[in-house]
């Protein structure tokens, strides 16, 4: 099995710990709150441990995951509310539109951090010793 296929990560890197740290917007290497310096702008290096973070490749994956997660929360909720209470359209909009926006904005940096943690744990895209 190749080192990228190992569930536990490579070179003693815990996959679960890296995902948890990234989701918490912490550096996947040391756990310090040094992953972002703005809302979604990743630091070049972790200010605490110096781990290089600039070569991550999150790209478009976090928004796709967010659409999947938020869609699976909001759509069943809206359908259940319509089935059992049948409120007017303006009430649906007043409930589901802000909830969708707030969930998206809250989850986006967390999912992006978890994806960076995954890449770090599996030594992808420059996080390992080998060039890509």
6 within domain boundaries: no
Average pLDDT over residues 19-25: 96
98 within domain boundaries: yes
Residue 125 has a pLDDT of 77
62 within domain boundaries: yes
CA distance 97 to 110: 21
Write out the residue range of the structural domain in which residue 45 sits: 15-121
Residue 4 has a pLDDT of 44
1 within domain boundaries: no
Which one is predicted more confidently, 92 or 4?
A: 92
Q: 59-107 pLDDT, tens per residue?
A: 899 999 999 999 999 999 999 999 999 999 999 999 999 999 999 999 9
Q: Structurally, how many domains does the chain consist of?
A: 1
Residue 9 has a pLDDT of 58
Burial of 128 (0-12, 13-18, 19+ CB in 10 A): middle
25 within domain boundaries: yes
> For residue 56, which of 69, 40, 68 has the smallest C-alpha distance?
40
Residue 8 has a pLDDT of 57
**Predicted confidence (pLDDT) at residue 118 exceeds the cutoff of 80:** yes
129 within domain boundaries: no
Residue 2 has a pLDDT of 45
22 within domain boundaries: yes
Residue 1 has a pLDDT of 41
128 within domain boundaries: no
Task: Give the confidence band of 55 by pLDDT, cuts at 50, 70, 90.
Answer: confident
């Amino acid at each position: 099995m190749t080192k990228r296929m190992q569930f536990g990560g490579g070179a003693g890197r815990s996959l679960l710990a890296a995902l948890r740290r990234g989701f918490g917007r912490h550096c996947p290497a040391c756990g310090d709150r040094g992953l972002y310096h703005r809302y979604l702008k990743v630091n070049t290096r972790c200010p605490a441990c110096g781990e290089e973070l600039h070569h991550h490749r999150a790209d478009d994956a976090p928004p796709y995951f967010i659409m999947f997660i938020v869609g699976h929360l909001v759509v069943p909720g809206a359908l259940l509310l319509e089935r059992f209470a049948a409120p007017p359209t303006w009430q649906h909009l007043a409930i589901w539109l802000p909830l969708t926006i707030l969930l998206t904005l809250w989850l986006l940096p967390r999912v992006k951090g978890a994806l960076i943690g995954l890449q770090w744990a599996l030594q992808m895209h420059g996080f390992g010793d080998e060039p890509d």
